[in-house]
Chain A
Amino acid sequence: MSSDLADKVLEGDARSIARLITYVENNVEGIADSMRTIHAHSGHAHVIGITGVMGCGKSTLIYELTRYYRKIGKTVGIIAIDPTSPFSGGALLGDRIRMMELAMDEGVFIRSMGTRGMLGGLTSAVYDVVEIMDAAGKDIILVETVGVGQAEVDIIKIADTTLVVVVPGLGDSIQTLKAGIMEIADIYVVNKADRPGVEQTVAEVQSLVEIVSSNKDRTIPIIKTIAKENKYIDVLAGEIQNHQIYLKQTKKLEHQRKLRYEAELIEIIRKKLMDFIFNEEQFKKTIEKLLDQINKKEIDPHTASEIILKDIKKK
């Protein structure tokens, strides 16, 4: 792969950005040559993760936040992730519907991605895509996770600031969310705040914040928004900026970035190891044989895994 492509990405060329993203998504051989250049030029963008249950208004919030950032002269990259069907491997990516108006703005780049088998609400190439958009000069990168339940908390590994979006009318379900997703917010957003029950929702989030943030040096803000009417988006953006300043002042940004690179490295190694094990003819045969034995109860999966690992070590 030519390093020309990476150079064109650095210039902000939309087609080159799009093509390099495709290459990292498809794990094309030789990406490392391009990503070396990209990595050296990234690290300037503020990455904002947006997560929350299905239908809470994530896409609309992203649309309005983007319009806000464009007004104050910042460029924006958007990564919108939707689930890949585990049965067909296909995906219907519909987040652009609410964002099409932004497509004509040269300062905005939107990319839709399928999860392609990854759990946790993200897709494994998302780390690279953030770096590519960052190196291409985007000031703000908004990452929209799939509509999540409780356990899709991987977004904190990639985002500098994580927004957890809830809506009135979830009722007691906020309580049931408490163990996973409700622990990861840097900022809570109570969207659709024109709906009845909004004060109760805020109170419920508030009581959760008190539990989860008791030993932190920062109170987690709860912001009410009505994204559809573009209301209180400026307040939300203000809190995002406050969090950005907090990260810099407390040196937590550095820590956060280290976590991101760690997660990315682990993901790349995992992918390569899996490819190595499951695509190598010799291992394929061993695995098939062992699977057969497991099925017949001649061996258990743990012992089988030890045999495979021994084989790998020999190589």
Chain B
Amino acid sequence: MLTCEEYITPGSLNEAFAAMARHSGRYRIVAGATDTLPWARDGRAGDVNVPILIDISKIPELRALSVDDKRARIGAATPIQHFLDDPSLARALPCMPRCAVWFADDQIRAQATIGGNIVNASPAADATPCLLAHEATVELASARGQRILPLRDFVTGPNKTALAGDELLTGFECDALHGYGGSFEKVGHRRSLVISLVCLAVLVKLDAAGRRFEDVRLSIAGIGPLPLRLAEVEKSLRGGPLSAERLEQAADMPVALVASRTRQDYRRDVVRGFMLRGLINAARRAGADPDALAPELEAAYG
């Protein structure tokens, strides 16, 4: 079990920095705390005494949300459930509702935060590929000031980030992709409360006729130490038709990237299937002309 001497809930960033300075080396930051409590149990960290817990989830800057035509700014303590429930967020980040519905369960999502999912830097984190596909940047703040990093440079390895000891992840800024179709494909051992074996975020924008890809964004996790953006595959699809041939070529491309520690053959099969399913689902949600999608692929993967 987790024990602590004091549980501090700062009401502002400055209060948080002061508490961090005061208890330097003796604290742990929590937001939703849904990873921290199960971590301090037998079989994982066991009984852990953290002298000071600093709960940053009530800091207003970390809960702020704003969306305009081009960009969205998301506070790090935004609960995952908001991506399902807030229509303006859902429109700007079209793959996030699909990601959120696979994330833990309805109850944990109400408490677990987007910042916590990213900062834990699990190779299978569900939200990371979505935000990578949205070209997200992270805001890191400390008493020294603020810096901005691209998300791809922030997550540096399994459970490793560029966060400095005195810094907090306060929020994200990312592309608002209105008009895109989104999908999120995930597989684990069961439906709810499961860590991804593979997950794939897909964002698709089509031409006015709904027959060609104007933009495609793909990002995958669970197949290696880091979530990856699939830039080569995106390039191969951009400007092209929704033909079965194009989709199948694209689906084959990331198969070779599987570098996980276990179940590589299985993951290769999954990656190919997810690419087809994800592209078809996202294209359909982006308003694809029903005749433009290959019916045999749609029947098998849609």
Decide if A and B are genuine partners: no
